[in-house]
Structure 1
């Protein structure tokens, strides 16, 4: 096991870091998001294993780092940078909760009544109710919200959104 760790820990960390770096840049620039999203998430999770092996291999040097300020300064700076993504941003009142506005908008739309959603999609209410029924969902009345439809039918809000959007095509 020690031979494996000595031989492969650092090369695996390097290789998976490069994959994470390249896929992260591609995601940031919105290049091939369908390809890179899963790759970035899963291989970043796989990166944990060689990272732990790398720490194990280099534990004595790590102990030296732990005694000096540069590691602690880097960790504090990294934590502060990460915190900027947690703090609500946007309109100043935290309306998006730090998430992309389109996600906050979609979540808020789930509180919309079915008749208002039909009007927003320029559809008759009966057409939207028919689409939901064809998908096996009880749409209730026009006064039922999209979130209530999801809850009452035991499905995700994403499934209700997809069904509603399909009716608008």
Structure 2
């Protein structure tokens, strides 16, 4: 096992780091994010395995770094930078659906329907076909889902027009 780790860990770390650096740079500059996002996320996760194997193999030598002020300073600065980003950008970023879905599921059907390119009565009928009890187009998707034993986000996802859907 150790000869294989010795032979492949550092080359894999190098190759995957380059992929991560290039894809991360592309994401930073918003260049083709659809192509680079999954690659960056998944291959950065794959990078962890050879990194852990490399650390395991070189653990005694690695511990020696912690005797130097430069390692402690670098780790401290990295931690401070990470915390600063979490505190300043954590709530502004993330998945926009987490911010958008509550706005849509709290809206009455007569307000939500035009957003979905439907008439309010057509939306109520569509919800009936989804197994929901709709009493009026003044109800919200949250209210309808709760009374039907369903999740409002799941209902909304089923109602959203698809790119292939030519109804809108």
Query: TM-score per shorter chain, which class?
Result: 0.7 to 0.9
Gap runs ≥5 in structure 1: 90-95
Contact 2:133 2:144 in 1 (8 A): yes
- Alpha-carbon distance, 1:142 to partner: 2.4
1:163 aligns to what? Answer: 159
2:84 counterpart residue number: 84
Matched, 1:142 2:134: no
SS at match of 1:85: helix
Number of the residue aligned with 2:28: 28
- Deviation, 1:119, is 4.9
Q: CA deviation at 1:8?
A: 1.1
Given the alignment of the two structures, is residue 106 of structure 1 paired with residue 110 of structure 2, yes or no? Answer: no
Structure 1 residue aligned with 2:37: 37
1:6-51: per-residue Cα shift (whole Å, max 9, x none)? Answer: 1111111111111111111222222222222221111111111100
* Shift, 1:68, TM fit: 2.1
The 1:119/1:31 distance shift into structure 2, 3 A limit, reads same
TM-score, length of structure 1 as denominator length: 0.75
Instruction: Number of aligned residue pairs: give it.
Output: 162
The answer for unaligned runs of 5 or more in structure 2 is none
Match of 2:50 in 1: 50
Provide the C-alpha distance between the structure 1 equivalents of 2:27 and 2:143, rounded to a whole number of angstroms.
34
Greater shift, 120-129 or 109-118, is seen at 120-129
Spell out, residue by residue over 1:96-118, the C-alpha distance to the aligned partner (whole angstroms, 9 max, x if none). 83335844540331322222222
Q: Normalised by the size of structure 2, how large is the TM-score?
A: 0.75
Partners in 2 of 1:45 and 1:160 — Cα distance? 31
Give the aligned partner of residue 15 of structure 1.
Answer: 15
Kept after mapping to 2: 8 A contact 1:133/1:139 = yes
